[in-house]
Chains A and B, each alone.
Chain A
Amino acid sequence: MSDLGCIIGGIESINPFWLASAPPSDKKYNVERAFKAGWGGAVWKTLGVDPPVVNVTSRYGVHRTQDRRIIGINNIELISDRPLDVNLREIEEMRREWPDRVIIGSIMAPMDEEAWKSLAIKVANSGVQGIELNLGCPHGMCERGMGSAVGQDPEFVEQTTRWVREAVNIPVFTKLTPNVTDIIVPAAAAKAGGAHAVSLINTVNSVIGVDLDTMAPTPTVDGRGTHGGYCGEAVKPIALHMTAEIARQPETQGLEISAIGGITTWRDAAEFIALGAGAVQVCTAAMLYGFRIVEDMNEGLAAFMRDKGYRSIADFKGKATAQTVDWNELNINHDLKARIDDEACIECGRCFIACEDTAHQAIRIDAKPEGGRKFTVIDDECVGCNLCMHVCPVKDCITMEAVDTDRPYLTWPEHPKNPLRKAAE
């Protein structure tokens, strides 16, 4: 039996799946339901300094595919709008009643040492195993000088992290905003401030859509809208990249990562862990399907680990990091050609038109003597871009075959056509 247990930022968890700080972790009722469903932990919805914030209605907009599946949510909800002492009392109860689960207290305060420190101490006293600094909220709070307004300034990131480290003796997670040019800068700042781990990504700044009848961005509040925070499946690639960078860049290497961003299935989680995350946090998938979604996250991840022979999360954590490199380190001599399996081909023509209109005119159509059409890759034109394989609706019908070029591994910096090539000698 594979062990889903993990340790992140020094905190032990029965599995790597925590609820992210968000509406699903706003109160005891929800978190209790989540723990019953099997979540390993929850980062409580962000607590601020009293008086509590006031929210607007409505709060969510969604990004749908054409068949109405939701691939992203955008929200304009603020941090917890309940009094701090109510939240802390519930956290205390939950810690008592669920000793094997993790509760992290997420906090947010203005750029003021006393404010951060006193809030951190109050929250730590409720019994949480760790503190997470919300430096990412991209709407509403940032306009008050909090959230992403702090997270976008590396000095502030380092400062707030240091203040909280000084105030409490439990692990500190610094939660980063993706709304920056280079994630390494705030991640390094968090590391410098003494963070035990970084949590990322917070939501991506976004306008989710426009109501073309009322001509207002959605979600609409009394006829007007604002930008919000984008999350869900659609942001996963952004989060994967940022996770990979923090794990592999020298400035941040070794910093523990609690990965967040569109994790919907066990496979998503495994990908983040393979790129260096120690555990993951989930919000949107739970909001769309309920807490029971964690059942298959746990079971699927365990099955994957069993199949691959990994006994623990640590066994495959960061296993894809070494293979994640800069473009300049890729082998330019590597060559692939598309291959179309005639038996599997259903003759939809999608590969042809994709290549013909938008790629390299490398697929030919011939009429079959028995009727129908045959699609053939013109090797001389095929650059191995994968587009035909991706648009093909039949799995494994189009495959990419490696061509034995008999040429050595060659990178761009060494390439003869590179005008800035470093002299070999």
Chain B
Amino acid sequence: MKHFKITTENSRLSARDIADNFDDLHPPLDGAQAIVEAGRCLYCYDAPCMNACPTRIDIPKFIHQIRSGNLDGSAQTILSANIMGGACARACPTEVLCEEVCVVHHTEGAPVKIGELQRHAVDHLMAKGGAHPFARAPLSGCKLAVVGAGPAGLSFAHRAAMLGHDVVVYEAKPKPGGLNEYGLAAYKMANDFAQAEVEFLLAIGGISIEHGKVLGDNLSLGDLCTNYDAVFIGAGLTNARGLGVDGEDLAGVGDALEFIETVRVAEDKSSVPVGDNVVVIGGGNTAIDAAVQAKCLGARNVTLAYRRGPDAMTATQWERDLATANGVVVRYWAAPKTFSGGARVERAAFSTMRMDDGKLTPSGDSFELPADMVLKAIGQTLNSAIFSALKLEGGKIAVDAHYQTSLPGVYAGGDCIKSGEDLTVQAVEDGKQAAIAADNMLRAKRKGAGE
């Protein structure tokens, strides 16, 4: 568990301290460490870790390949199932995926460090440079459009390019990568890894990215359907949820994702303004990323307020431990009531909650915290207005078992679809499977036309 430098009563952080805080969360394994760690793997048959991975990476095989000294092959095994294996190795909550079910838990008390080994292999291949490890199938002549250059869209684009199609990716932001670039704590993606990975992925060829293209603004779904053989929507969730409490519009009350983005894009992290008394509202990993980064920037007091109890919190235990080990105070059963102050927010008031017959109810008590910065991490919603042509379910885009939306030839995946799990690795799988489905559709179509 990493201990960041944090502000104490007697000292504030220097710019150097802050830069150190944003260095790699986990230092990479060196070659000897990787061999030792790989040696702990039992090479399970039909391994639980592999089944726990949404992209079904053949984990025993890639770890065996590290042991045998076939690092190129190891990376190839990973990337053939998950082209963003490098980002997932850094950002995946492995403690609730592959590593949670690793059987070495039972024999040694701690799982094989699958994420760190995966990073070792993929980093090796990316550092080595040279030819892209995957070749494209004979070109199909089909052109596919992708909305959103996040993990789902890029995964779709890579797989589609590999299957022989040409792809144009439309992205609203100035950089590709989506939440990998903008939505994760900076120490999880140190050294501009998200951009390096996109560059690596694009090296397969056949993919172009157009930035500044916003669906419903300067890009229309109808046009895409007309101009392309198939469309994939990996637009994510772009509307921030509101709390609907008084004072939400005060200066100093903002969205956690925006804060995370500000930190990510800042060259000099010490230039990012942070409050002295920061309150983060929410219970997911984004809330943790915001809270811990506020600490890394030098906030004196950071409180993470969550309206339910620990069992309901979606942030993993590892993430919670990272936060509490670094001075973040977690307050459960605390629902925001009002934010108040003058020109800026100064105080946050909370109702204490409890479960009453399975229903979350105010207990009648309340408390107040000094707050000069409030960050809301209560989730995002789909900008449904721009998807009026598509059937929605539960506020998200409905897709069938083949990731096809209600419009034939239009596919969707990632956080914007109903099953979206707010996981990079799931988005990558969605994109990959949608590309395979689109390819099957296009092949069937061509076969039909040829007959």
State the A residues within 8 Å of B (CB).
66-68, 346-350, 352-353, 393-394
Chain A, Cβ-Cβ closest to B69: A66
Q: Which residues of A contact B423 (CB under 8 A)?
A: none
Docked-complex contact A346 and B103, CB < 8 angstroms: yes
Q: Is the CB of B67 closer than 8 A to any CB of chain A?
A: yes
Docked-complex contact B39 and A393, CB < 8 angstroms: no
With contacts A347-B48, A350-B42 taken as known, whether A67 is within 8 angstroms of B36 at the C-beta atoms is yes
Q: Which residues of B contact A394 (CB under 8 A)?
A: 106-107
Q: Is the CB of B318 closer than 8 A to any CB of chain A?
A: no
Q: Is the CB of B44 closer than 8 A to any CB of chain A?
A: yes
Per the bound structure, the CA–CA distance linking A34 and B103 in Å amounts to 44
Docked-complex contact B68 and A349, CB < 8 angstroms: no
Q: Which residues of A contact B107 (CB under 8 A)?
A: 346, 393-394
Per the bound structure, the CA–CA distance linking A349 and B46 in Å amounts to 7
Q: Which residues of A contact B35 (CB under 8 A)?
A: 66-68
Per the bound structure, the CA–CA distance linking A249 and B100 in Å amounts to 56
Query: Could you list 14 A-B pairs, sorted by A, with CB under 8 Å?
Result: A66-B35, A66-B38, A67-B35, A68-B35, A346-B106, A346-B107, A347-B44, A348-B103, A349-B47, A350-B44, A352-B45, A353-B45, A393-B42, A394-B106
With contacts A346-B107, A347-B103, A348-B103 taken as known, whether A66 is within 8 angstroms of B45 at the C-beta atoms is no
Q: Which residues of A contact B44 (CB under 8 A)?
A: 347-350
Q: Which residues of B contact A352 (CB under 8 A)?
A: 45
Q: Besides the contacts A66-B39, A350-B44, A352-B45, what 5 more A-B pairs have beta carbons closer than 8 Å? A: A66-B35, A67-B38, A67-B39, A348-B45, A394-B107
Q: Which residues of B contact A347 (CB under 8 A)?
A: 44, 48, 103
Nearest Cβ distance between residue A304 and chain B, in whole angstroms? 26
Chain A, Cβ-Cβ closest to B40: A67
Q: Which residues of A contact B36 (CB under 8 A)?
A: 67
Q: Which residues of B contact A67 (CB under 8 A)?
A: 35-36, 38-39, 67
Nearest Cβ distance between residue A310 and chain B, in whole angstroms? 34
Q: Which residues of A contact B32 (CB under 8 A)?
A: 68
Chain B, Cβ-Cβ closest to A347: B103
Q: Which residues of A contact B367 (CB under 8 A)?
A: none
Interface string of B23-43 (1 = CB under 8 A from A): 000000000100110110011
Per the bound structure, the CA–CA distance linking A109 and B25 in Å amounts to 65
Nearest Cβ distance between residue A383 and chain B, in whole angstroms? 20
Chain B, Cβ-Cβ closest to A349: B45
Nearest Cβ distance between residue A151 and chain B, in whole angstroms? 38
State the B residues within 8 Å of A (CB).
32, 35-36, 38-39, 42-48, 67-68, 103, 106-107
Query: Looking at A347, A352, A353, which has the most chain B CB atoms within 10 Å of its CB?
Result: A347
Of the candidates A66, A349, A350, the one whose C-beta lies within 8 Å of that of B67 is A66
Docked-complex contact A350 and B45, CB < 8 angstroms: yes
Q: Which residues of A contact B42 (CB under 8 A)?
A: 348, 350, 393
Per the bound structure, the CA–CA distance linking A393 and B39 in Å amounts to 13
Per the bound structure, the CA–CA distance linking A346 and B48 in Å amounts to 10
Q: Which residues of A contact B106 (CB under 8 A)?
A: 346, 394
Query: Looking at A68, A349, A352, which has the most chain B CB atoms within 10 Å of its CB?
Result: A349
Q: Which residues of A contact B46 (CB under 8 A)?
A: 349
Chain B, Cβ-Cβ closest to A344: B106
Query: What are the nearest 6 A-B pairs in CB distance?
Result: A349-B45, A67-B39, A353-B45, A346-B106, A346-B103, A348-B44
Q: Which residues of A contact B43 (CB under 8 A)?
A: 350
Nearest Cβ distance between residue B273 and chain A, in whole angstroms? 48
Per the bound structure, the CA–CA distance linking A393 and B47 in Å amounts to 14
Per the bound structure, the CA–CA distance linking A104 and B74 in Å amounts to 52
Query: Looking at B38, B45, B103, which has the most chain A CB atoms within 10 Å of its CB?
Result: B45
Q: Which residues of A contact B47 (CB under 8 A)?
A: 348-349
Nearest Cβ distance between residue B209 and chain A, in whole angstroms? 41
Nearest Cβ distance between residue B96 and chain A, in whole angstroms? 15
Per the bound structure, the CA–CA distance linking A160 and B402 in Å amounts to 83
Q: Which residues of B contact A353 (CB under 8 A)?
A: 45
Per the bound structure, the CA–CA distance linking A284 and B30 in Å amounts to 29
Per the bound structure, the CA–CA distance linking A353 and B43 in Å amounts to 11
Nearest Cβ distance between residue B62 and chain A, in whole angstroms? 14
Query: Looking at A347, A348, A349, which has the most chain B CB atoms within 10 Å of its CB?
Result: A348
Per the bound structure, the CA–CA distance linking A352 and B43 in Å amounts to 12
Q: Which residues of B contact A348 (CB under 8 A)?
A: 42, 44-45, 47, 103
Per the bound structure, the CA–CA distance linking A350 and B45 in Å amounts to 6
Nearest Cβ distance between residue B6 and chain A, in whole angstroms? 38
Docked-complex contact A66 and B103, CB < 8 angstroms: no
Q: Which residues of A contact B103 (CB under 8 A)?
A: 346-348
Q: Which residues of B contact A66 (CB under 8 A)?
A: 35, 38-39, 67-68
Nearest Cβ distance between residue A358 and chain B, in whole angstroms? 12
Per the bound structure, the CA–CA distance linking A394 and B39 in Å amounts to 16
Nearest Cβ distance between residue B42 and chain A, in whole angstroms? 5
Q: Which residues of B contact A349 (CB under 8 A)?
A: 44-47
Nearest Cβ distance between residue B277 and chain A, in whole angstroms? 44
Q: Which residues of B contact A350 (CB under 8 A)?
A: 42-45
Per the bound structure, the CA–CA distance linking A68 and B38 in Å amounts to 12
Per the bound structure, the CA–CA distance linking A393 and B43 in Å amounts to 10
Nearest Cβ distance between residue A116 and chain B, in whole angstroms? 48
Q: Which residues of B contact A393 (CB under 8 A)?
A: 42, 107
Nearest Cβ distance between residue A375 and chain B, in whole angstroms? 10
Per the bound structure, the CA–CA distance linking A350 and B46 in Å amounts to 9
Chain B, Cβ-Cβ closest to A392: B42
Nearest Cβ distance between residue A9 and chain B, in whole angstroms? 43
Query: Looking at B46, B47, B67, B68, which has the most chain A CB atoms within 10 Å of its CB?
Result: B46
Q: Which residues of A contact B38 (CB under 8 A)?
A: 66-67
Chain A, Cβ-Cβ closest to B108: A393
Per the bound structure, the CA–CA distance linking A393 and B106 in Å amounts to 11
Per the bound structure, the CA–CA distance linking A67 and B48 in Å amounts to 23
Per the bound structure, the CA–CA distance linking A353 and B42 in Å amounts to 13
Per the bound structure, the CA–CA distance linking A353 and B438 in Å amounts to 36
Per the bound structure, the CA–CA distance linking A66 and B47 in Å amounts to 21
Per the bound structure, the CA–CA distance linking A346 and B106 in Å amounts to 6
Per the bound structure, the CA–CA distance linking A407 and B19 in Å amounts to 77
Per the bound structure, the CA–CA distance linking A354 and B44 in Å amounts to 11
Q: Which residues of A contact B48 (CB under 8 A)?
A: 347
Q: Which residues of A contact B39 (CB under 8 A)?
A: 66-67
Nearest Cβ distance between residue B38 and chain A, in whole angstroms? 8
Per the bound structure, the CA–CA distance linking A352 and B106 in Å amounts to 18
Per the bound structure, the CA–CA distance linking A393 and B45 in Å amounts to 13
Per the bound structure, the CA–CA distance linking A350 and B43 in Å amounts to 8
Nearest Cβ distance between residue B379 and chain A, in whole angstroms? 29
Per the bound structure, the CA–CA distance linking A68 and B103 in Å amounts to 23
Nearest Cβ distance between residue A316 and chain B, in whole angstroms? 33
Q: Which residues of A contact B45 (CB under 8 A)?
A: 348-350, 352-353
Chain B, Cβ-Cβ closest to A357: B45
Per the bound structure, the CA–CA distance linking A130 and B85 in Å amounts to 65
Per the bound structure, the CA–CA distance linking A347 and B44 in Å amounts to 8
Per the bound structure, the CA–CA distance linking A66 and B36 in Å amounts to 9
Per the bound structure, the CA–CA distance linking A352 and B103 in Å amounts to 15
Chain A, Cβ-Cβ closest to B68: A66
Chain A, Cβ-Cβ closest to B37: A67
Nearest Cβ distance between residue A367 and chain B, in whole angstroms? 12
